[in-house]
Structure 1
Amino acid sequence: MHHDNGIWVNTEDLMREESFLQSAEKEFSIENIDQTDGKWETNRRDFLKLLGFGLGAATIAASCEIPVKKAIPYVTKPDEIVPGVANYFASSFVNGGDYCAVLVKTREGRPIKIEGNTLSSVTKGGTSARAQASVLSLYDTRRIQYPGTVKDGNVSKMEWNALDREVKAKLAAGGNIRLITNTIISPTAKKALAEFTAKYPNARVVTYDPVSSAALLAANEQSFGARVIPNYKFGEAEVIVSFGADFLGTWISPVEYAREYAKNRKVRNVKGAKMSRHYQIESHMSLTGSNADNRILIKPSEMGAAIVALYNELTGGSGGPKLSNEKSAAAIKKMAQDLASHKGKSLVVSGSNNIMEQLYVNKINQLLENLNTTIDFNAVSYQRQGDERDMARLIGEMNAGQVAVAIVWGANPAWELPFANQFKEAFAKVGTRISFNGIVDETTALCTHSAPAHHFLESWGDAEPKAGHLSLIQPTISPLFNTRQAEHSLLEWADSPNLNRQDEQPYYQYLKSHWAGDIFGRQTKYSTPTAFWDMSLHDGVFEMPAPEAAAVMNDVALNPDAVTKPSGSELEISFYETANIGGGQYAHNPWLQEMPDPVHRTVWGNYLSIPVEWDGVNNINGWKGLTDGDNVEVEVNGQKLTCTVVRTFGQPAGTVAIALGGGRETGGCGVGYGVNVNPALKADGGLVQYFGADVKVSDKV
């Protein structure tokens, strides 16, 4: 609230609006039910607190059983569950490239809380809202509860052996097989995939990510000969420059990067105190930008010009597109001087999905002598592996009738892709379409068969987010429904001799055998496979030093004409990922929908950020006279959207921004909240670009 000391929290508080004052007075009031004439209305938050997310039904289904006999608690291994006494299991939260080593707190055999695992040198005890909220998705009563055929978005029940016979017959009939996935960081899952593709040589895996980093991967392959994400050492950099990479919120590995970033942002000794400097060049107010020492504001189409401007300042060059904003150009010139005086102690990153822009960034880091100091290729990251250009090629194959069976594993291309409508039309031409997804999402609704996988809290598995950094996933509860791990299904359909179908937990044995064989042979700490497995399962993580190799940059030609050129448009728009619902893959978790956006403090949907005009005293006006909650019509890239606006400090003039992930069409609680902006995204060279030029925004409608 507004106080006499001049502190205010929003525009309504500053301007002392009557509606705000009334709501502020009621914020902490307690209304007695007996004073409401028997009429009591609840809000979303009350509903979540009182009814949970099908928790009662899930509790009955779980029957309060000990999760799995072979799971090992983190602290002690009890002979039986003691009512009221919590057990902790070390596990891993993995969803595509999202990763976090976690400790799962359970009571009476049910997981109730997730925290970070301090034994992991990747996340170092940190966690994320997505990881913590994943407990709720376990108890989602919308989960598919059994295998079956899919028709009109409904699953008709089958037994697993009947589904297996039907799928095997389809696979054996010949024709190309395509497996559609997001990034997979599990070495054992990749082994299962290898067995499947060996059984069916006409099978191929097609991988994309909901929010693409394909340009970064392609540029690193050209520059360094490795299609991976390097090891960024934010904790060792004294000057950090980010071109639109929200590394504290959503970019690649934010839990890891935030921990590292904080190292040099703390003053440990007042005498001779110092901290790192952080420059953020961006087109909307991001979580990372809100923590920067210097924000340099540009239009989205000027990102390439800004990167080239920095390169020219460091090399004395003059080619390439120019920034129209003289203030931003001057700030980049000053930033270049700061970087040049911190060679070997700086770090430059970019969230651009333009290959040439990423090549320029690689060259800038080489010029600043950052390779093998703040950037190395020892513990590289595997957390982004996808390329949406492969999906475009797959659509061509399906349209040509060249795909007989398509298997979808954890991905949702019928909604996530900008060309989702093209995918839907082509997907319908595939005779057999199988989904491992746990809910009837937009893609599963188009499939012919559903083979639902366990929730990760019911699963065995592993992960290798970075080279040499391994972690295990162990179940903390018995499966609530008649689901089965996707890896188990692939091995079953491949008639794998390594899957012991007579065992109580076949995939557990497969995982353990892989660790006792391939992974045990990569380490020297333990002398026996049993000791290696037991301690790794107990700790949740096992780390081995990655072989050191000095990064050597290839001689790659830089072409300033290949970077994004300023559009010259009066108005442009940015599309960005949020820390809570991501690109939409977490939109059906009500905890994450209810979590206020850390920048805009908005919930349940995505909103159009508009710039504000401030006279420096008390008058704050939204662009075009708009205020929070007004609806406008937005036209971009041939798409028309009706959006609700929110005034945003730090939004550059001549720009607007809106988050990805809104407007889900089926599958859960996110349906109907926000707008789906994916069709408004365009591609350049096959790579999705997260901005639009020549945007039109109406007055209030």
Structure 2
Amino acid sequence: MKHKTDNIWIGQKDLVQDQEFLSTVDSEFNSDSSTLADATSSLSGNRRDFLKFLGFGLGAATIAAGCDIPVKKAIPYVIKPDEIVPGIANYYASSFVNGGDYCSILVKTREGRPIKIEGNALSPVTKGGTSARAQASVLSLYDTNRIKGPQVKDGARWKDTTWQEIDKMMVPTLSSNGIRIISHTNMSPTSKKAIAEFVAKYPNTKVVTYDPVSASALLDANQLNFGVRAVPSYHFDKASVIVSFNADFLGTWISPIEYAADFAKGRAINDVTKASMSRLIQVENHMSLTGSNADNRILVRPSEQGVAIAHLYNEIVGGGPSSDGLNDKAKKAISKVASELKSKQGSSLVVSASNNVSEQLMINAINNALGNYGTTLDISMPSYQRQ
């Protein structure tokens, strides 16, 4: 039901005040027990009905008890591997890469079965952290509906096959046709070496890198400014003031596990006599995990995002594009943010998730004017989590 006070609605029909929808809202959580009473009123409650239901229940229980339970055998090792002791877990170092999410992990196993994933504290990037996606990935190993081998299209259906059959079909066609390898950002040296050897053998191959959530504008801007098409290393723990334009660096942007650990370090108070922590200003058009942790959250429309960056650019660098399209409240707030950034030169950080090259170039210029390169961000030690 629509809330008149704060203009919250639960769906399109609620928004347009559809009469048919409104007529059913009040009965959605109706506690009236008349329906249950109507359903049970037909039962006469005599001895005959009681014996009827009792007999049915006993018969069902007897049939269920007679069903065979699948036999599961526990077979001991004939020659037990030295590294496996039943009941004692083994840990294997690995890495998790999925959808742009990366972390170094330790996989806990019992008798060869992975049961838990934890972060690898020895990793200099993720520092022992993991994401919810990495934690849940162990469940996919026990998914009975998962694809267990290669498949080929047979009309409208897919059928199982073997890698040997795939090789027989594909190898004769590799030399005569153009080949495209489509991949997400690849950080694995082993995979890169295998792809390079394949390309060397079949020169008609082109590798296409595609990430569902693109960071191409950030990469292109750094290519134009510094000659390096890479993501800088961001040091959120060294920043006194952080300004983020729609970059959910605690949730989904670039390397959230790494950034969250650094951000938490910058927020920690180690000396109560000199209590200080970093400040976070989030400029965004929707609620994000980073926005919910911000000290100051400035709301702008999606169409105002670039204008907001231009306004901050004009306040700090000057001579940029007009910021007339920005609402007055956001303009006033960003002007205050600019003053705060100027007071923290060399210890501030401005980031943006925009996929517009011009906007990323302005972000680079702002960080350069504030003297942040070499302190809170470093392009000489880039991150290759987006390529």
TM-score class, shorter: 0.7 to 0.9
1 CA distance for matches of 2:76 and 2:121? 28
For 1:629, the equivalent position in structure 2 comes to none
After TM superposition, give the deviation of residue 149 of structure 1 in Å. Answer: 2.1
After TM superposition, give the deviation of residue 274 of structure 1 in Å. Answer: 0.6
| SS of equivalent to 2:267 | coil
For 1:298, the equivalent position in structure 2 comes to 300
| SS of equivalent to 1:364 | helix
For 1:333, the equivalent position in structure 2 comes to 335
For 1:249, the equivalent position in structure 2 comes to 251
| SS of equivalent to 2:378 | strand
Say which of 269, 279, 282 aligns to 1:280.
Answer: 282
Report if the CA contact (8 A) 1:97-1:184 is conserved: no
1 CA distance for matches of 2:142 and 2:274? 52
After TM superposition, give the deviation of residue 268 of structure 1 in Å. Answer: 1.9
| SS of equivalent to 1:370 | coil
After TM superposition, give the deviation of residue 156 of structure 1 in Å. Answer: 2.2
Residues 359-398 of structure 1: per-residue CA shift (max 9 Å, x gap)? 000000000000111111233111111xxxxxxxxxxxxx
After TM superposition, give the deviation of residue 187 of structure 1 in Å. Answer: 1.1
Say which of 143, 150, 168 aligns to 2:171.
Answer: 168
1 CA distance for matches of 2:152 and 2:126? 40
Structure 1: runs of 5 or more not aligned:
1-9, 23-36, 39-56, 66-77, 386-701
Larger radius of gyration: 2
Q: Structure 2: which amino acid aligns with 1:87?
A: N
For 1:132, the equivalent position in structure 2 comes to 135
After TM superposition, give the deviation of residue 297 of structure 1 in Å. Answer: 0.4
For 1:222, the equivalent position in structure 2 comes to 224
For 2:365, the equivalent position in structure 1 comes to 363
For 2:100, the equivalent position in structure 1 comes to 97
Residues 61-99 of structure 1: per-residue CA shift (max 9 Å, x gap)? xx999xxxxxxxxxxxx7153222211111111225321
1:106 equivalenced with 2:129 (yes/no): no
Q: 1:295 to 1:153 in 2, by over 3 A?
A: farther
1:85 equivalenced with 2:88 (yes/no): yes
1 CA distance for matches of 2:156 and 2:230? 37
Q: 1:324 to 1:311 in 2, by over 3 A?
A: closer
Q: Structure 2: which amino acid aligns with 1:110?
A: R
For 2:122, the equivalent position in structure 1 comes to 119
For 1:75, the equivalent position in structure 2 comes to none
| Equivalences for residues 6-17 of structure 1 within 5 A | none
For 1:142, the equivalent position in structure 2 comes to 145
TM-score of the two chains, using structure 2 as the length reference = 0.78
After TM superposition, give the deviation of residue 232 of structure 1 in Å. Answer: 0.4
| Equivalences for residues 657-668 of structure 1 within 5 A | none
RMSD: 2.8
Q: 1:246 to 1:307 in 2, by over 3 A?
A: same
1 CA distance for matches of 2:160 and 2:375? 56
| SS of equivalent to 2:97 | strand
Residues 443-489 of structure 1: per-residue CA shift (max 9 Å, x gap)? xxxxxxxxxxxxxxxxxxxxxxxxxxxxxxxxxxxxxxxxxxxxxxx
Report if the CA contact (8 A) 2:249-2:259 is conserved: yes
In terms of fraction of residues, the more helix-rich structure is: 2
For 1:157, the equivalent position in structure 2 comes to 160
For 2:181, the equivalent position in structure 1 comes to 179
Q: Structure 2: which amino acid aligns with 1:159?
A: T
After TM superposition, give the deviation of residue 182 of structure 1 in Å. Answer: 1.0
Q: Structure 2: which amino acid aligns with 1:85?
A: I
Report if the CA contact (8 A) 1:123-1:255 is conserved: yes
Q: 1:264 to 1:177 in 2, by over 3 A?
A: same
| Equivalences for residues 533-572 of structure 1 within 5 A | none
Report if the CA contact (8 A) 1:310-1:333 is conserved: yes
Q: Structure 1: which amino acid aligns with 2:170?
A: V
| SS of equivalent to 2:289 | coil
Report if the CA contact (8 A) 2:99-2:212 is conserved: no
Report if the CA contact (8 A) 2:317-2:366 is conserved: no
For 1:345, the equivalent position in structure 2 comes to 347
Q: 1:331 to 1:148 in 2, by over 3 A?
A: closer
Q: 1:267 to 1:228 in 2, by over 3 A?
A: same
Residues 42-67 of structure 1: per-residue CA shift (max 9 Å, x gap)? xxxxxxxxxxxxxxx9xx9xx999xx
Q: 1:143 to 1:152 in 2, by over 3 A?
A: farther
| SS of equivalent to 1:188 | helix
Say which of 212, 215, 218 aligns to 1:213.
Answer: 215
TM-score of the two chains, using structure 1 as the length reference = 0.44
2 CA distance for matches of 1:198 and 1:292? 50
Q: 1:100 to 1:206 in 2, by over 3 A?
A: same
| SS of equivalent to 2:274 | coil
Q: 1:94 to 1:324 in 2, by over 3 A?
A: closer
2 CA distance for matches of 1:18 and 1:176? 62
2 CA distance for matches of 1:159 and 1:364? 55
Q: Structure 2: which amino acid aligns with 1:315?
A: V
1 CA distance for matches of 2:169 and 2:142? 30
Report if the CA contact (8 A) 2:317-2:365 is conserved: no
1 CA distance for matches of 2:350 and 2:282? 10
After TM superposition, give the deviation of residue 148 of structure 1 in Å. Answer: 3.9
Q: 1:84 to 1:152 in 2, by over 3 A?
A: farther
Per chain length, whose mean CA-contact separation is higher, i.e. which structure has more relative contact order (CA < 8 Å, sep 6+)? 1
Q: 1:225 to 1:105 in 2, by over 3 A?
A: same
Residues 485-509 of structure 1: per-residue CA shift (max 9 Å, x gap)? xxxxxxxxxxxxxxxxxxxxxxxxx
2 CA distance for matches of 1:296 and 1:113? 40
1 CA distance for matches of 2:9 and 2:177? 61
1 CA distance for matches of 2:88 and 2:375? 47
Say which of 271, 289, 292 aligns to 1:269.
Answer: 271
Q: Structure 2: which amino acid aligns with 1:289?
A: G
1 CA distance for matches of 2:9 and 2:179? 56
Q: Structure 1: which amino acid aligns with 2:167?
A: D
For 1:202, the equivalent position in structure 2 comes to 204
Q: 1:218 to 1:153 in 2, by over 3 A?
A: farther
| SS of equivalent to 1:100 | strand
Report if the CA contact (8 A) 1:309-1:329 is conserved: yes
1 CA distance for matches of 2:368 and 2:315? 14
| SS of equivalent to 2:232 | strand
Structure 2: runs of 5 or more not aligned:
1-7, 11-25, 32-52, 55-69
2 CA distance for matches of 1:367 and 1:21? 62
For 2:67, the equivalent position in structure 1 comes to none
1 CA distance for matches of 2:229 and 2:76? 45
Q: Structure 1: which amino acid aligns with 2:177?
A: G
Residues 550-598 of structure 1: per-residue CA shift (max 9 Å, x gap)? xxxxxxxxxxxxxxxxxxxxxxxxxxxxxxxxxxxxxxxxxxxxxxxxx
Identity %: 59
After TM superposition, give the deviation of residue 181 of structure 1 in Å. Answer: 1.1
After TM superposition, give the deviation of residue 123 of structure 1 in Å. Answer: 0.5
| SS of equivalent to 2:208 | strand
Bigger drift between 174-183 and 136-145 goes to 136-145
